[in-house]
Structure 1
Amino acid sequence: MSETYSPDYETKAEPQVSAVEMAQAFDEFMRAFEAFKESNDQRLQEIEQRMAADVVTTDKLERINRALDEHKRTVDQLALKAARPPREGSAAADHLVSEHKAAFASYVRAGETASLRALEQKALSAGSGADGGYTVPTEVESTIMRALTEVSPIRAIAGNRQVSSATYKKPFARTGAAAGWVAETGARSETNTPVLEELDFPTMELYAMPAATQTLLDDSAVDIEAWIADEVRIAFAAQENTAFVSGNGTDKPKGFLDYTQVADGSWSWGSIGYIATGVDGDFASTDPEHALFDLIYTLKAGYRGNASWVMNRSTQAEVRKIKDGDGNYIWQPATEAGARPMLLGFPIVETEDMPSIGSNATAIAFGDFQRGYLVVDRIGIRVLRDPFSSKPYVLFYTTKRVGGGVQDFGAIKLLKFGTS
């Protein structure tokens, strides 16, 4: 649940990533990609000449493929670290601390609640300290939410709304208002009114429970707010991203893969359309890229401008081997550190919560997720200090409320690895 505590990490700012370090990591990634292409070209040539690839060549290709993923992960982590603003030293933080931050720090370190309770009563907070903990300062909430966007792949590309109520309700017009052409002096007939319906996005409670020793809490050099933010962000991101992909909507958001899936020729509002590769559990043996082209153009033009591919690492490794009819690789690496790789001109978002290629698996999604999927965050993250349940550790039961679901069923399409 929580990351291992390191005193050095908590008591001083993280070292900044240098441009040289970033450039070296990106160069290693590009060299690995060139080696991958050379090895895959050899494999394809062997298949063409002998109807099968040599085992040594195949094993070499898979090793390079795995190494390529590792290099990409390193580059992405360095880019994320470089983009993270440096932390302030404890002296500067103490000098600039707000009344809320000071009260919150006293609560976290020593369990003192009087100042924090007074502040929340003054702000007409709905929660009570005895039952639900206390709201973290705005700066801490912003840090956690920013980190979630950086770490959670679906949140990074989805639409987002912040609400103060338990449920976000969005009206939409299933049928628009009627319109038509008319002569300047012609009679205007009454038009039909639009049919309005409503989508509900309830927010569900997500929690993390990092633990600390009292020694850590007593150490004034430790930025305790930053420690809490770092501890909960990974736990929150992992749980919510899984829900955004495949959650069933019970006590968690509803993932886009949990909606009814239908062949795109029979698609209707309320379901997610898919097309099939024509082969159970695989791409077609000839012209496998055609299924990907078909998926692109299944999506209406208005959605394609901001569309992304969503797949896991193993699926991307298979896509990376495919060439088009002119002998060009359809997968292309990012042009710079921190950017996304491209597939047929559209960026790839990698998340391990997507299923792998298998029988009838919808392993690839394509669409405008900003319009298609909505993440709803209820304002406020709360922390309840618990020094009793796991002595000698102090637990911090940290909760936030988040919901999610499809808001535009025409904006997301799936590729199914099956015959129909």
Structure 2
Amino acid sequence: MSDHSHPSLETKAHAPEAGAAFHEFMQAFESFREANDERLGEIEKRMSADVLTEEKVDRISKSLDEQERRVERLILKEARPALGGERRPAAGPSEHRSAFERYVRGGDEQGLRRLEEKAMSSLTGADGGFLVPDETETEIGRRLAAISPIRAIATVRMVSAAVLKKPFAIDGAQTGWVGEADARPQTTAPQLAELAFPTMELYAMPAATNALLDDAAVDIDRWIGDEVEQAFAAQEGAAFVNGDGVAKPKGFMTYPTVDEGAWAWGSVGTVATGADGGFAPGEAADSLLDLVYALKAGYRQNASFVMNRRTQASVRKLKDGDGNYLWQPPASAGARATLMGFPTVEAEDMPDIATDAKAIAFGDFGRFYLVVDRQGVRVLRDPYSAKPYVLFYTTKRVGGGIQDFDAAKFLDFAA
């Protein structure tokens, strides 16, 4: 088993197009701040804002979201290599990769079958198809790390078995202090329990024309990675947040929750805002501060806020008691916006702000949530079902679940 670090989208320099888009985003944020200041001033004077001012703030906020998405798309576009170009390492392709490419381009299975015999192991799955070479699997994993929001901040572990079982001590490790010459008393036997993270099958079915497959300039690894990334990322993103654990990973929002004052292992602690379906008037900053400090110091140093775009639009309007905005834009193209100094991560599958909704999560997701990838991505070539196109039934097995219930807390929009 091995842990994988995730590449950041932030780089030292970006193409002029991305830089220009980020400049437009910052201009939109300045316009938003001016309009929202006007709205807050009207509320302070008349206890309510003018309808036209509210509409203006919402319109600029939506524009700000569009500008942010545009910057993200341009940064991702820069991160992707061209479809053609330098596609082979200096040492040349591996034997597996060469055989796999012949299979994808022309349906030649002989090379992969010979590799099976040579390795005395099966490269095929129960439903057919062949294992992709390491280069292709790495390409798919790299792309998913860049665009799947929860995968980008969680711990990702590669395993070869169908289920990862992880023991943990319910009462924590038994320790104590003793002097140099003192007898070492026997510690109490720890109570151990086991977390199980089964992997489930995720699939995508990109299609290609024969002309594309015949083009030697097209890099098969990158083409498959490009085709399956959005499908895999969308399905993963939904499952990591709200998956029920049946034929999919178990999402962190589906575990039991309990008020932080009564927290116990096996549930996620919550902090209430004090108002149903929103923040208590004038106490939004206090609610967020309570959420931050509900988390132990050891988790806070690597913590992030997780919410959807609509919740972020609401949080963007908030100020502290000194008139400073709690939400701040990214410092540069490719960086993350911050809330109260902590990075914000957008996960569209998080719930909207509503009564009793846990719309904001805060925690160290690297310790909170575990993504389990089973080694091996498989591809089954199907030239018959959608003539004249060739379909590629691409599957990977992935699981997920909470591994440390104390590493994150939810903000509950309830009294």
Structure 2 counterpart of 1:289: 285
Quote how far apart the aligned CAs of 1:329 are: 0.3
Match of 1:131, SS?
Answer: coil
Q: Distance in 1 between matches of 2:240 and 2:379?
A: 24
User: Cα–Cα, structure 1 residues 129 and 306, in superposed 2: closer, same or farther, change >3 Å?
Assistant: closer
Alignment of 1:163 onto 2:159 = yes
Match of 1:229, SS?
Answer: helix
Q: Distance in 2 between matches of 1:277 and 1:18?
A: 40
One-letter code of the match for 2:152?
Answer: A
Alignment of 1:412 onto 2:404 = no
Structure 2 counterpart of 1:278: 274
Do the aligned residues in 2 keep the contact of 1:287 with 1:325 (CA within 8 Å)? no
Identity %: 61
Quote how far apart the aligned CAs of 1:225 are: 2.8
Structure 2 counterpart of 1:3: none
Q: Distance in 1 between matches of 2:297 and 2:220?
A: 49
Q: Distance in 1 between matches of 2:234 and 2:174?
A: 45
User: Deviation per CA, 1:109-156, whole angstroms, max 9, x where unpaired?
Assistant: 211101111113323444536833101111111010000000100000
User: Deviation per CA, 1:335-359, whole angstroms, max 9, x where unpaired?
Assistant: 1110000000100001101011112
Larger mean CA deviation between 279-288 and 115-124 belongs to: 115-124
Structure 1 counterpart of 2:10: none
Residue 69 (structure 1) aligned to one of 65, 72, 85: 65
Match of 1:328, SS?
Answer: coil
Quote how far apart the aligned CAs of 1:57 are: 0.7
Structure 2 counterpart of 1:145: 141
Would you say how many aligned residue pairs link Structure 1 and Structure 2?
403
Do the aligned residues in 1 keep the contact of 2:373 with 2:398 (CA within 8 Å)? yes
- For residues 85-100 of structure 1, what are the structure 2 equivalents within 5 Å? 85=81, 89=85, 96-100=92-96
User: Deviation per CA, 1:147-202, whole angstroms, max 9, x where unpaired?
Assistant: 00001000000011101111111111112343334455555432212222211111
Q: Distance in 2 between matches of 1:50 and 1:289?
A: 22
User: Cα–Cα, structure 1 residues 262 and 129, in superposed 2: closer, same or farther, change >3 Å?
Assistant: closer
Quote how far apart the aligned CAs of 1:99 are: 2.1
Match of 1:192, SS?
Answer: coil
Residue 220 (structure 1) aligned to one of 216, 229, 242: 216
Alignment of 1:26 onto 2:31 = no
**Unaligned stretches of 5+ residues in structure 2:** 1-12
One-letter code of the match for 2:284?
Answer: P
Alignment of 1:352 onto 2:348 = yes
Q: Distance in 2 between matches of 1:409 and 1:85?
A: 38
Q: Distance in 2 between matches of 1:310 and 1:349?
A: 5
Structure 1 counterpart of 2:256: 260
User: Cα–Cα, structure 1 residues 72 and 188, in superposed 2: closer, same or farther, change >3 Å?
Assistant: same
Do the aligned residues in 2 keep the contact of 1:177 with 1:193 (CA within 8 Å)? no
Q: Distance in 2 between matches of 1:66 and 1:75?
A: 14
Quote how far apart the aligned CAs of 1:44 are: 0.5
User: Cα–Cα, structure 1 residues 56 and 270, in superposed 2: closer, same or farther, change >3 Å?
Assistant: same
Match of 1:239, SS?
Answer: helix
Q: Distance in 1 between matches of 2:78 and 2:255?
A: 38
Do the aligned residues in 2 keep the contact of 1:261 with 1:274 (CA within 8 Å)? yes
Larger mean CA deviation between 123-132 and 342-351 belongs to: 123-132
Structure 1 counterpart of 2:240: 244
User: Deviation per CA, 1:20-76, whole angstroms, max 9, x where unpaired?
Assistant: 323222111111111111000000111111111111111111111011111111122
Match of 2:293, SS?
Answer: helix
Match of 1:175, SS?
Answer: coil
Do the aligned residues in 2 keep the contact of 1:365 with 1:415 (CA within 8 Å)? yes
Structure 2 counterpart of 1:10: none
Do the aligned residues in 2 keep the contact of 1:367 with 1:412 (CA within 8 Å)? yes
User: Cα–Cα, structure 1 residues 178 and 379, in superposed 2: closer, same or farther, change >3 Å?
Assistant: closer
- For residues 1-400 of structure 1, what are the structure 2 equivalents within 5 Å? 19-85=15-81, 89=85, 96-128=92-124, 131-183=127-179, 185-400=181-396
TM-score by length of 2: 0.92
Q: Distance in 1 between matches of 2:347 and 2:207?
A: 28
Q: Distance in 2 between matches of 1:184 and 1:82?
A: 60
Larger mean CA deviation between 217-226 and 263-272 belongs to: 217-226
Q: Distance in 2 between matches of 1:85 and 1:389?
A: 31
User: Cα–Cα, structure 1 residues 95 and 195, in superposed 2: closer, same or farther, change >3 Å?
Assistant: closer
Larger mean CA deviation between 182-191 and 73-82 belongs to: 182-191
Quote how far apart the aligned CAs of 1:286 are: 1.8
Q: Distance in 2 between matches of 1:186 and 1:132?
A: 64
Do the aligned residues in 1 keep the contact of 2:84 with 2:219 (CA within 8 Å)? no
One-letter code of the match for 1:416?
Answer: D
**Unaligned stretches of 5+ residues in structure 1:** 1-16
Larger mean CA deviation between 43-52 and 301-310 belongs to: 43-52
Do the aligned residues in 2 keep the contact of 1:117 with 1:129 (CA within 8 Å)? no
Q: Distance in 2 between matches of 1:260 and 1:46?
A: 41
User: Cα–Cα, structure 1 residues 99 and 67, in superposed 2: closer, same or farther, change >3 Å?
Assistant: same
Structure 1 counterpart of 2:9: none
Match of 1:96, SS?
Answer: coil
Q: Distance in 1 between matches of 2:125 and 2:295?
A: 49
Do the aligned residues in 2 keep the contact of 1:90 with 1:221 (CA within 8 Å)? no
One-letter code of the match for 1:269?
Answer: W
Do the aligned residues in 1 keep the contact of 2:329 with 2:337 (CA within 8 Å)? yes
User: Cα–Cα, structure 1 residues 355 and 130, in superposed 2: closer, same or farther, change >3 Å?
Assistant: closer
Larger mean CA deviation between 360-369 and 47-56 belongs to: 47-56
Do the aligned residues in 1 keep the contact of 2:125 with 2:378 (CA within 8 Å)? no
User: Deviation per CA, 1:240-260, whole angstroms, max 9, x where unpaired?
Assistant: 111111100011000000101
Match of 2:359, SS?
Answer: strand
Larger mean CA deviation between 106-115 and 319-328 belongs to: 106-115
